Amino acid sequence: MSTQTSSSIEEHEGFTAAERDAMKQRAAETRSARTRTSAAEKAAAAAQAVQDKIEQMAPEDRDLAREVHRLVTGAAPQLAPKLWYGMPAYALDGKIVCHFQDAAKFSTRYATLGFSDRAQVDDGPMWPTSYALTEITDQVGTEIDALVRRAVA
């Protein structure tokens, strides 16, 4: 008979509380999208939800997310902002191309900009799909712009 308690098992198996919360947020996002009637209404609500989520972030993450949002929407206006597991994301034809994950989301030391397999960022037999962000300098902004343009090419 095991002496482990159910709480100690939960710590080692299954999903963390942050992961469970992200899944709940994704389910709510899906339900919310189904309640809208027109495509324009859905797009406007999704874009507003991204802005609202960014404004709820911790100041350091919020500044990064605002800049990522500006860069992504400027480089690829065909990408539609939407929430994805509670994170700002950008989709083409309903499929996520890239997303921003704030550091506070999973208590990590840096935020990330990630690209899905739909993004055309392939570079040989191996390439990065996620980038750590601690500051967006002019050079970093230029690199993000180029990555996003490449992702939707």
| pLDDT tens per residue across span 53-90 | 999 999 999 999 999 999 999 999 999 999 999 999 99
Residues in the chain: 153
pLDDT of residue 10: 47
- Which carries the bigger pLDDT value, residue 125 or residue 15? 125
Domain containing residue 18: CATH number: 3.90.1150.200
Q: What is the DSSP letter of 87?
A: E
Separation between Cα atoms, residue 100 and residue 61, nearest integer Å: 10
Tokens at 62, concatenated = 């919020």
Inside any domain, residue 6 = no
Domain of residue 84: give its range: 12-151
Separation between Cα atoms, residue 151 and residue 135, nearest integer Å: 21
Indicate the average pLDDT of the chain.
Answer: 89
Q: Is the pLDDT confidence value at 31 over 90?
A: no
Inside any domain, residue 2 = no
**Cα end-to-end span (Å), the chain:** 58
Number of domains in the chain: 1
